[in-house]
Amino acid sequence: MENLGMVLALTGAALASILAGIGSAIGVGKAGQAAAGVVTEDPSKFSKVLIMQLLPGTQGIYGLLIAFITLSQIGILGGSAESLSLAKGLLYLAACLPIAIVGLLSAISQGKAAVAGIMMIAKKPDQMSKGMIFAAMVETYAILALLVSILAIFGIAGLNI
Amino acid sequence: MKVPMSRITIYGNKKDRKAVLEFLQRRQCVDISEPDAENAKLGFSTMNTSESQSEFARERVIGEKAIDILEKYAPSEKGLLSSFEGRRSLSAEEYYMYVDDIPEMMNIAVRITDAEEEIAERRAQIVRRMSELDELSPWLPLDVSLSEDGTKDTSCIIGTFPEALTEEKLLERYLSAEDAPPIHAEIVNVMPQQTCVFILCAKKHAADCENRLRAIGFSKMKTSFSGVPAERTAQIQKEIDALNSEIGALEKEIASYKGAASSLRFMVDYYTMRTEKYNVLSMLSQRNKVFVITGCVPKEAASSLAATLEHEYNAAVETEDADGDAPVLLKNKYLTEPVEGIVKTFAMPAMGEIDPTGIMAFFYYILFGMMLSDAAYGLIMTLGCFFAIKKFKNMEPDMKKTLRMFMYCGISTMFWGVMFGSYFGDVVPTVSRTFFGKEVTIPPLWFEPVKDPMKMLMFSFVIGIVHLFTGLGVKLYQCIKAKDWAAAFGDCIFWYMLVGGGILYLFRVDMFLSMAGLTTKLPAVWGTVAAVIAGIGALGILLFTAPQNKMGKRLAKGAYSLYGVTSWLSDILSYSRLLALGLATGVIATVFNKMGSMFGGGVVGAIIFIIVFVIGHTLNLGINALGAYVHTNRLQFVEFFGKFFEGGGREFKPFAAHTKYYKFKEEI
């Protein structure tokens, strides 16, 4: 089991992309349903509601970003995979958790805010940027989680354990 | 800046009313206000025009409907970028030509909507015929009429069994009952769920036969139509064909009005204009032979407007400087103008507030650029916007402003991309390594955020502090201008001291120094000075937030305000998104480059790389530009505006023609 460290680190990367990806998929899906409803009434609002639909999609990208940084840090991407100590593997796993969990939940919440924003566009298309801000407020927390994950992962690389 | 406004009062003769209103509508520079209640006492009254307004609105709706229908049957050619094209302007000659066309256009519009209804009705009829055909189809082999009763001595019974049956099986079942009268049965059609049968019996036994048949599951055909099924089917088919050809003719008729599309569009615009005009008409104070218009006009336009009104329209005009609650018109120049739209979506500055556009624009470009921070993406944005502006000269002003804003954002993005060494992520080293065997890198002008995220984070906070302190500075300026000294100290200067002192003190804290990567610790006296500054600030906030209250309440309010220091903390931390979004662009670009280069060098590798490159980077640019836009807005609206700007002014909305398709030149 001397490679367990590598397994844990990869689990972390996988979780980051899986959970954040699921969250974004749910959020974008919900917003998409609402957007389709608006477009049946008024096709000219397509581009506006499309932008709103995209907003909860960023968490998935943050998850991908963390997964990617982790993969290249532990050498799976780039082909120089060495054995990783158990402690370091666990650290990587822990470092991936903020964006994984916050990404999942915040994307779902942001999806709900985006749905409400889309409803607003249906009635008052000129107020669109306010709707975008409401949805973007939720994303702040995903960004904070992303930041912690990034800083932690870069920090772990320098540790000698 | 906010454009200074004048309040204008126009007195005119009633016979010039139409001309004056039309002139004002063309000039588009007077925001007409509700008449003064005082006027009623002087015998002035207003006109109720709501009936005509709704009549015009109804006509406009018919026109719009006709245009939509026409678009369906005879689509006009639209380019991919047609949304950039502005409204076409009409000359006076064209205008009057179109006005003459309006009665005819109204007829055409009504005809088009009627034709559409006729088509819908025929479609419904076809559906009914189709279901009749479905019902008839199993009976096609039957060569007598479905409502056939029989002959003098025989009766025929036509109907179905709810199962698949053969002739023998049917007779066997029927004859199994005692003394069943003889029948002749013919199977017309067999399906798994239904058997259609034709049964013949002696007339005297008809009722008995039917009862017996019913007992074994038979049900009589209930039919609304008579005739031989095959003949009837052919007839229905003919009817459907006729309906279809009628629909074709109607569609052709609608399409034949294609040439009228531009006149129809004019008609919609015309009624829009008239609705607006009549709305203003209802706001005029009128008496016997005179009318009065009150409103606001930008000060610079006031005198020329007054002169024209006096000389050409025989009106008397009074102007005076408008007071604080005048409607707000923003006017900025060059680099700052395009950001006006962003301010407008938040709110118009209220009385006593300055127009934040100028200060905001500078930060807007910086923040956007840092979030996208890729030289190549910036170049694409800049060039794209530049050529769109050059190509579509007739673009609507708001659209043009937006494009200009993104062009400047693109330039800033290029700048930060060069600083951080990002060109399509790491496409230069990737391509040179994969296809030319030798790695070439473009070193960043400053540093690479991926390699040193802590440095980038610190830099983001510095930008944030500058941004927030600038916002607080604007507040200070507004307080001083309003001579509100208590607020100037309590809300601004003491906050500078508290937050500034706190930040300075950080340079004595070991943890902060190691995080920021600084090695020199400042002398102890620095810490003392910083702490004293912060302390004075805190005390000041405690005492001077609500100086007009009694001591207890004053301290309580001060303490509550002091609690706001947590919001300063979260505001500053919020700027960490500059790092996060900046890294997101670069890392995702790198992912796509890596995916593209996985297939190695050579021709096949190059082709795959190009495909992945184009799709991947288009996606990345789109999603990150959207992210940068949204989050730049957020930093401006929540963090920056939170420090000084509430808004709530009324936007200057001049009496004008808010048309959809055409612009009307001055001289009409």
Which residues neighbour B316 within 8 Å (Cβ) at sequence distance 6 or greater?
A: B10, B11, B12, B310
CA nearest to A70 within chain B: B587
Note whether B212 and B164 are same-domain residues: yes
Note whether B588 and B559 are same-domain residues: no
**Final residue of a domain: which of B165, B197, B222?**
B222
ipTM of this model? 0.77
- pLDDT for residue A145: 92
The answer to whether the CB atoms of B577 and A140 lie below 8 A apart is: yes
Please report which helix (H) or strand (E) contains residue B201, including its range.
strand B194-202
Query: Closest Cα to residue B237, out of B118, B115, B116, B137?
Result: B137
Distance between CA atoms of residues B336 and B362, nearest Å: 7
Please check whether residue B367 lies inside any domain of the structure: yes
- Give the mean model confidence (pLDDT) for residues B181-208: 84
- pLDDT for residue A78: 66
CA nearest to B636 within chain A: A133
Give how far B435 is from chain A: nearest CA, Å: 17
pLDDT of B92 over the 90 cut? no
Cα torsion through A53, A56, A62, A67, rounded to 10? -90
The answer to whether the CB atoms of A147 and B580 lie below 8 A apart is: yes
pLDDT of B40 over the 80 cut? no
**Final residue of a domain: which of B532, B548, B575?**
B575
Residue pair B87/B656 in contact by the 8 Å Cβ criterion = no
Give how far B358 is from chain A: nearest CA, Å: 20
Give how far B281 is from chain A: nearest CA, Å: 27
Note whether B580 and B446 are same-domain residues: yes
Note whether B508 and B368 are same-domain residues: no
DSSP B638: I
CA-to-CA separations, B235 to B122, B138, B143, in angstroms, rounded: 17, 16, 15
Total Cβ atoms within 10 A of residue B313: 18
CATH number for position A90 = 1.20.120.610
Give the pLDDT band of residue B335 (cuts 50, 70, 90).
Answer: confident
Please check whether residue B630 lies inside any domain of the structure: yes
Please enumerate residues of A whose Cβ is less than 8 A from a Cβ of B. 51, 54-55, 57-58, 61-62, 64-65, 68-69, 77, 127-130, 132-133, 136-137, 139-140, 143-144, 146-147, 150-151, 154
Query: Tens digit of pLDDT per residue, chain A (161 long)?
Result: 678 888 999 999 999 999 999 999 999 999 999 999 999 988 888 878 888 888 898 899 889 889 988 888 888 876 666 778 888 899 999 999 999 999 999 999 999 999 999 999 999 888 888 888 888 889 889 988 988 998 898 888 878 77
pLDDT digits (tens, 9 = 90+) for B423-468: 998 888 888 888 888 888 888 888 888 888 888 888 999 999 999 9
- pLDDT for residue B342: 87
Secondary structure of residue A160 in the 3-state scheme: coil
- What does the block give as tokens for B54? 């709704």
Please check whether residue B491 lies inside any domain of the structure: yes
- pLDDT for residue A128: 82
Please check whether residue B620 lies inside any domain of the structure: yes
- pLDDT for residue A17: 93
Note whether B404 and B424 are same-domain residues: yes
The answer to whether the CB atoms of B573 and A57 lie below 8 A apart is: no
Residue numbers in B near A130 (CB within 8 A): 345
Note whether B528 and B586 are same-domain residues: no
Nearest CB among B576, B590, B594 relative to A147 is that of: B576
Q: Which domain holds residue A11?
A: 4-158
pLDDT of B418 over the 90 cut? yes
Give the pLDDT band of residue B649 (cuts 50, 70, 90).
Answer: confident
Please check whether residue B200 lies inside any domain of the structure: yes
pLDDT of B79 over the 80 cut? no
Q: How many domains does chain B have?
A: 3
Is any Cβ of chain A less than 8 angstroms from the Cβ of B584?
A: yes
Which residues neighbour B41 within 8 Å (Cβ) at sequence distance 6 or greater?
A: none
- pLDDT for residue B224: 67
pLDDT digits (tens, 9 = 90+) for B588-637: 898 889 888 888 778 888 999 999 999 999 999 998 998 899 889 889 98
Q: How many domains does chain A have?
A: 1
Note whether B532 and B473 are same-domain residues: yes
Note whether B584 and B436 are same-domain residues: yes
CATH number for position B194 = 3.30.70.2750
- pLDDT for residue A26: 96
- pLDDT for residue B124: 93
Distance between CA atoms of residues B238 and B192, nearest Å: 30
Identity at B286, one-letter amino acid code:
Q
HSE-CB for B78 with a 13 A CA cutoff: 10
Residue pair B458/B431 in contact by the 8 Å Cβ criterion = no
Q: How many CB pairs under 8 A join A and B?
A: 69
Please check whether residue B29 lies inside any domain of the structure: no
- Rg from Cα positions in chain A: 19
- pLDDT for residue B382: 95
pLDDT of B666 over the 60 cut? no
Note whether B440 and B588 are same-domain residues: yes
Residue pair B434/B605 in contact by the 8 Å Cβ criterion = yes
Most confident of A102-106, B207-211, B267-271, B342-346: A102-106
Angle at B443 between CA B437 and CA B449, to 5 degrees: 115
Which residues neighbour A65 within 8 Å (Cβ) at sequence distance 6 or greater?
A: A146, A150, B583, B584, B587, B588
- pLDDT for residue B408: 95
Give the pLDDT band of residue B667 (cuts 50, 70, 90).
Answer: very low
Note whether B613 and B625 are same-domain residues: yes
DSSP A49: H
Bridge pairing between strands B31-32 and B154-161: unpaired
pLDDT of B668 over the 50 cut? no
Distance between CA atoms of residues B42 and B64, nearest Å: 43
The answer to whether the CB atoms of B457 and A147 lie below 8 A apart is: yes
CA-to-CA separations, B213 to B151, B186, B223, in angstroms, rounded: 20, 14, 19
Query: Closest Cα to residue A37, out of A129, A132, A116?
Result: A116
pTM above 0.90, yes or no: no
Is any Cβ of chain A less than 8 angstroms from the Cβ of B630?
A: yes
Q: Which domain holds residue B200?
A: 148-222
**Final residue of a domain: which of B575, B592, B618?**
B575
pLDDT of B639 over the 80 cut? yes
Question: To the nearest whole number, what is the mean pLDDT of chain B?
Answer: 85
Note whether B493 and B631 are same-domain residues: no
